[in-house]
Amino acid sequence: ASSCEGGGVDSGRRVSSEGGMRCAAASGFALAVLCGQASATPAAEPYSEVVAERFTFGSNDYTFQHLPFNSVAGVARLTALQAVILTQDAALYRVDANSTVVGSATPAAVDDVFSPLSVAGLGDSKIDCIATIQGWSGSGFAAFTTDGTAWSVACSGEECAATRVAAGPAEKGLGQLSCAAKLVSEGRFLVAVGGRGGLWTNNAQARMLVREEAVEGLVVRSVAVHADDSGLFVAAATQQNVYLGSGALGGSLEWRREWATDIVSEAGGGVDSPGAHVAFTPSGDQLWVGGLLGLQSWDTKYRIFHRMQGLGDGLPLSTVTRVAASSGALWVGTTRGVARQAADGSWRYMYGPRWLPGTVVRHLVVMGSGSGTTEGDCAAVGDVTGATVVVTDAGVGVLRDECWNLDLKAAHYQAMVHPRHDRYGYVSDSGLAEAGNLSTYVLKDSDNDGLWTAMYTASQIFRAMLASSPEDRANAAEELEEHFNALMFLFDVTGAPGYMARSVVKANESHSSDRTWYNSSTAPGWIYKGDTSSDEVVGHMFFLPLLTTLLAGDSGAKPLVAEARTKVQQLMRRVVAHSMTLMDPETGEPTTWGHWDPATVNTEHSFADNRGLNSLEILAFLRAAQAVTGDAAFGDAADELKEDHGYGANVLNSKITVPDDVNFSDDELAFLPYYTHLVTADAGALDPQVVCSLSRSWREGVAQEHSALWATIHAAAARQVRKAGLEEVWQACGSGAVTTEEQDIKVALWSLRNWPLELITWPVTNSDRQDIVLDSSVDRFGRTQSIQVLPANERNQYRWNSNPHELDSTWPGATSEGDPGAWLLAFWMAKFHGLV
């Protein structure tokens, strides 16, 4: 059986969970190009998703869980997926970053993540500094007590035992501020502790901490150590200097001092920032030096500095508070979140409540590889390759590197629909009575329930056809049936054949007041939202022809297909009968945005930015109606618009490019009709002007949006173009900017993989980043925007009609959750076409 097979339908508007949809059955859908390709593997390939758990010291704006402690003095790695936290009260807590299952929608309970640790063998001494023991594969960490003694602490479960590594120095009251440890050989640890008055190590005397006299300064704020067969390095940072010592274990160290820049006194130096934080790479070839004025790498062999730049090196923010390096990544804590550079050089920026409970990073520790690349170390879905514990001014974030694939991500989003986004079968965003708290969701009507539901339900058509198990097929069939019925009710509730409502509510329910509402004469007890826009027509005329085409050959689908065909015929007859307008039955006038008539499209200056778009829409609607109903009158009407009113020429420049008039919603209202016209309704003869229009739109900005849905439609249309022999038109109108299918696939994968797992409208801020090239033109709302599109999980985008170049968003402040329909449509369409 073909990979294009899926669920058919049963009688009585019932979608069958059995039965098959054969490739040859769906005539007119270019299935000769599509079928047999939907078994491509990218959707199953594992990649790394960063999953955030956030916990706060006390009350917060987003109902994050409260920690069992109120402050943190330090953090260290315990095992590959566990860390240990030292509180300001000298208590220890284990942090279990592996306390939940990959793909689980249930957050880990705070008590499952944080549990008290007890340490035997310390006597009355209290720990005031902890450190990761580099090179130790066991479960444990290094501890330094108030008397200056260094310990190795081995743990089993929640019980630990301390073993003395080195006695405290003759000087007491070190006031440790930083410590570091490395297992050099069996039983031999190299430790360093910095505090008020200097730096002490056990390099010269294994069992005794001895002051390193070369390190001057009242306060050593940060220390780091590295040792291997070639020797050792010790680094220390004070308010004015960074020191790098090198030598052999047990021998004297040769020290190099570099001054830090002091802006107040105007005294310069090789180190950017005073009071820096230091960390070695695992290989020891570089020392990272971070401070509030920047981040530098210090080559330990040639002793040269390199300052990490924003545009040149990709560092998002230079106000550095902490640095941690693993074998796979560099983590940089800042005054505004955390950034990570992966092994391939790419950066991720995680700031705001989507990722962290606070703003300023105080401590961080990396466990596992910490690579975080989209391919990374993921061998199998379900693996956890690493985690990073980030301590902020407001709490603790645990960022897990989980191995997902797009199939798992699709299941994750699918589970969101019910109950939080299903209101009488209409799929849209939901409100949150408490910011960030999904349990307080509130279902509400939207201005475009028809469009959003049509896009979601279209995804379920593709999903049903590709279902790989009886359970998934049954679920997809049930979804398709429910939401199809809801869409049909939008027509039926108005009592006017061919006219659909924007939305419906029951008469006793509250509703938005932004449109005129009417009592239904055909469905007592219901009221509907009128003044229906072209957006709704785009949604219905995308979904209905798709359904009738893909399910046309299934005998069990006849009732469903027949009703969809009837609705298409009634809708388009209504539009044609009223001179290419959508006539509102309540007012007797065309709706505000329901204009495809030449009198408006061609003569009104105020409508000029919709001239090409609405010309494209009506031509796609009419061609689809002809294909669906077989009524040549619709094709004749399209021909008349082209030949007598210049709609073919109008279509060519449908994409508006004037910066302050670019409306990204128009891209959605164009690309769905592009798909309908060139793919769904294709009868073997494509319209060259529509082909040219799509290619020009791609060139003039849509390609730069890096949208999975637009890339999929572009790739699907390109196949049709090649089949029709219109590549010359395609290439000419794209003017060298036409992307290959391989490039479209790459964009689709990038877009789908980087869509945020949480669809809560978290506030985001990116405009202060130094790795972004700002557009000299603001958007149509006067807001700053970027040239290059950031990953969706670093900004606020939950639909394809949003501005992907937008950098900042505080509205609506985590009081809404977007529905997953946008992502699901892009994924299932791309999978159907064999792209992912």
CATH number of residue 825's parent domain: 1.50.10
Assigned domain for 4 exists: no
Assigned domain for 2 exists: no
What is the C-alpha separation between 195 and 269, in angstroms, rounded?
23
Asked whether 333 and 364 are in contact (CB, 8 A), the reply is: yes
- Contacting residues for 437 by C-beta, under 8 A, at least 6 apart: 62, 63
Place of tokens 């009104």: 604
Condensed to tens digits (0 to 9), the pLDDT of residues 311-336 reads: 999 999 999 999 999 988 999 999 99
Please indicate, yes or no, whether residues 497 and 550 belong to a single structural domain of this protein: yes
Confidence of residue 172 (pLDDT cuts 50, 70, 90): low
Mean pLDDT calculated for residue range 138-163: 95
What pLDDT is stored for residue 174 in this prediction?
Answer: 67
Assigned domain for 643 exists: yes
DSSP 699: I
Confidence of residue 699 (pLDDT cuts 50, 70, 90): very high
Q: Which among 425, 457, 422 has a CA at the least distance from the CA of 443?
A: 422
What pLDDT is stored for residue 601 in this prediction?
Answer: 98
Assigned domain for 709 exists: yes
Q: Is 355 left (phi over 0), alpha (psi -120 to 50) or beta?
A: alpha
Q: Cis link prior to 812 (omega < 30° from 0)?
A: yes
What pLDDT is stored for residue 550 in this prediction?
Answer: 93
What phi and psi, each to the nearest 5 degrees, are found at residue 500? -105, 150
Mean pLDDT calculated for residue range 391-396: 98
What pLDDT is stored for residue 684 in this prediction?
Answer: 61
Range of the structural domain that residue 805 is part of: 9-45+410-832
Please indicate, yes or no, whether residues 484 and 545 belong to a single structural domain of this protein: yes
- Contacting residues for 468 by C-beta, under 8 A, at least 6 apart: none
Asked whether 195 and 175 are in contact (CB, 8 A), the reply is: yes
Q: Is 799 left (phi over 0), alpha (psi -120 to 50) or beta?
A: beta
- Pairing, β 133-134 against β 178-185: parallel
What pLDDT is stored for residue 173 in this prediction?
Answer: 60
Please indicate, yes or no, whether residues 568 and 693 belong to a single structural domain of this protein: yes
Mean pLDDT calculated for residue range 187-213: 93
What phi and psi, each to the nearest 5 degrees, are found at residue 120? -95, 150
Residue type, 244: L
Residue 10 has pLDDT above 70, yes or no: no
Residue 623 has pLDDT above 80, yes or no: yes
Confidence of residue 735 (pLDDT cuts 50, 70, 90): confident
- Contacting residues for 601 by C-beta, under 8 A, at least 6 apart: 595, 607, 610, 611, 614, 615, 645, 647, 650
**3-state secondary structure (DSSP) of residue 210:** strand
For residues 640 and 58, which has the higher predicted lDDT (pLDDT)? Answer: 640
Q: Cis link prior to 282 (omega < 30° from 0)?
A: no
What pLDDT is stored for residue 473 in this prediction?
Answer: 81
DSSP 440-495: GEE----TTHHHHHHHHHHHHHHHHHH--SHHHHHHHHHHHHHHHHHHHHHHHTTS
DSSP 225-268: EEEETTEEEEEEEESSEEEEEEE-TTSPPEEEEEEBPBTTTTB-
Please indicate, yes or no, whether residues 167 and 78 belong to a single structural domain of this protein: yes
Vertex 448: Cα angle to 710 and 753 (nearest 5): 35
**3-state secondary structure (DSSP) of residue 812:** coil
Residue 34 has pLDDT above 50, yes or no: no
Mean pLDDT calculated for residue range 145-160: 95
- Of the residues 348, 370, 404, the one at which a domain ends: 404
Identify the CATH number of the domain in which residue 54 sits.
Answer: 2.130.10.10
User: String of b and e for 477-497 (b: at least 16 CB within 10 Å)?
Assistant: bbbbbbbbbbbbbbbbbbebe
Please indicate, yes or no, whether residues 15 and 76 belong to a single structural domain of this protein: no
**3-state secondary structure (DSSP) of residue 691:** helix
What pLDDT is stored for residue 786 in this prediction?
Answer: 97
What is the C-alpha separation between 96 and 117, in angstroms, rounded?
12
Counted residue by residue, the chain has a size of 836
What pLDDT is stored for residue 24 in this prediction?
Answer: 33
Assigned domain for 759 exists: yes
Lowest mean pLDDT: which of 27-36, 239-248, 490-499, 824-833?
A: 27-36
For residues 744 and 514, which has the higher predicted lDDT (pLDDT)? Answer: 744
Residue 38 has pLDDT above 70, yes or no: no
**Average pLDDT over the chain, rounded to an integer:** 91
Please indicate, yes or no, whether residues 113 and 193 belong to a single structural domain of this protein: yes
Condensed to tens digits (0 to 9), the pLDDT of residues 666-678 reads: 999 999 999 999 9
What pLDDT is stored for residue 3 in this prediction?
Answer: 36
Please indicate, yes or no, whether residues 41 and 51 belong to a single structural domain of this protein: no
Assigned domain for 69 exists: yes
Asked whether 63 and 433 are in contact (CB, 8 A), the reply is: no
Residue 23 has pLDDT above 60, yes or no: no
What pLDDT is stored for residue 325 in this prediction?
Answer: 95
DSSP 48-73: EEEEEEEEESS--TT-PEEPSSS--S
Place of tokens 């002809």: 626
Lowest mean pLDDT: which of 4-8, 124-128, 625-629, 688-692?
A: 4-8
What is the C-alpha separation between 684 and 703, in angstroms, rounded?
26
Residue 687 has pLDDT above 70, yes or no: yes
CA dist 833 to 344, 479, 720, 759, 773, Å?
30, 21, 12, 26, 34
What is the C-alpha separation between 276 and 260, in angstroms, rounded?
9
Condensed to tens digits (0 to 9), the pLDDT of residues 413-444 reads: 999 999 999 999 999 999 999 999 999 999 99
Please indicate, yes or no, whether residues 53 and 36 belong to a single structural domain of this protein: no
Confidence of residue 20 (pLDDT cuts 50, 70, 90): very low
Q: How many CA atoms lie within 13 A of 634 on its CB side?
A: 23
What pLDDT is stored for residue 683 in this prediction?
Answer: 60
Asked whether 113 and 95 are in contact (CB, 8 A), the reply is: yes
- Of the residues 380, 404, 428, the one at which a domain ends: 404
For residues 576 and 659, which has the higher predicted lDDT (pLDDT)? Answer: 576
Q: Residue 213, Cβ neighbours under 10 Å: how many?
A: 9
H or E element that contains 538: helix 534-550
Please indicate, yes or no, whether residues 626 and 742 belong to a single structural domain of this protein: yes
Please indicate, yes or no, whether residues 366 and 418 belong to a single structural domain of this protein: no
- Of the residues 404, 426, 452, the one at which a domain ends: 404
What is the C-alpha separation between 393 and 413, in angstroms, rounded?
32
pTM: 0.94
H or E element that contains 401: strand 395-404
Q: Tokens for 686?
A: 């494509």
Domain count, the chain: 2
Lowest mean pLDDT: which of 19-28, 35-44, 490-499?
A: 19-28
- Contacting residues for 137 by C-beta, under 8 A, at least 6 apart: none
Please indicate, yes or no, whether residues 40 and 52 belong to a single structural domain of this protein: no
Condensed to tens digits (0 to 9), the pLDDT of residues 689-698 reads: 999 999 999 9
Q: Which among 220, 239, 238 has a CA at the least distance from the CA of 177?
A: 220
CA dist 707 to 14, 110, 745, Å?
34, 36, 11
Assigned domain for 431 exists: yes
Assigned domain for 3 exists: no
What pLDDT is stored for residue 598 in this prediction?
Answer: 98
Rg, the chain, Cα only: 31
Residue 29 has pLDDT above 90, yes or no: no
Residue 27 has pLDDT above 60, yes or no: no
Lowest mean pLDDT: which of 34-38, 350-354, 563-567?
A: 34-38
The most distant pair of C-alpha atoms in the chain lies apart, rounded to whole Å, by 99
Residue type, 784: T
**3-state secondary structure (DSSP) of residue 726:** coil
Please indicate, yes or no, whether residues 25 and 94 belong to a single structural domain of this protein: no
What is the C-alpha separation between 338 and 387, in angstroms, rounded?
13
What percent of the chain has a predicted confidence (pLDDT) above 90? Answer: 81
Residue type, 65: Q
